[in-house]
Amino acid sequence: MTPTRILAITGVTRGIGRSLVASFVAAGHTVHGCGRSADALAELCAEHPGAHTFTAVDVADSAAVEAWARSVLASGPAPDLLINNAAIINAPAPLWEIPAEDVERLLAINVGGVAHVIRAFVPAMISAGRGVIVNLSSGWGRSTSPDVAPYCASKWAIEGLTRSVAQELPAGLACVALSPGVVDTDMLRLCLPDTAAACDGPDAWAERNAAYVLALDASHNGQSLTAT
């Protein structure tokens, strides 16, 4: 029987994050998730009662992230798996046509949010001597396209942040960047609706990849991986 593991995931109210929650819970693991939609969080609490928790957190707010981490860590052991999934994308346009506040908000969530979550949880994971950090990247973190410059910049940053953190971690822990590939999510529909329509959705993606994510270990430290 697979031992129960403790997972902390950001961005669980929709898309890949929400589908991963369902797959992880079905496999018998304990999930602590956060997101910004109060209605979706209430639905998750109703769908997954028991030891699981789903909390309203804006990952761009370091104080809110720290409060969430304190609550999770007070409830039990440090996470075995920490998944930085929360992200947004800009409305497609050339960079000079995108409002400054939109660029700043995107970077605050996609890059700052990841840094806040790592800072809040990883000291406890280091103390426990185990754990894997998975930072959701993108094909646009390893290549570029027009009209999504802020998003590309954020995901290229995630690739660099991941490799640097991997060098900072002690033995027994890992930090990896994971590109999910092409999935029919709200973000992809905004940018590439025709492509999105031809792809599997988050539920099918999670069914294929939840076990793959759970199998990541210290041997994967510093790697840039791509899901199936």
Between CA 102 and CA 136 the distance in angstroms is 21
Cross-sheet strand order for the sheet of 6-10? 53-56, 30-35, 6-10, 81-84, 131-136, 173-179, 224-226
Q: Which tokens belong to 114?
A: 């990841």
Kindly list the distances between the CA atom of residue 36 and the CA atoms of 56, 115, 183, 198, 221, in Å, as whole numbers in the listed order.
5, 18, 21, 28, 30
Q: Out of 24, 54, 121, 151, which one is annotated catalytic?
A: 151
- Is residue 151 flagged as an active site residue? yes
The two three-digit tokens of residue 152, written as one number: 């590309």
Residues with a known catalytic role: 151
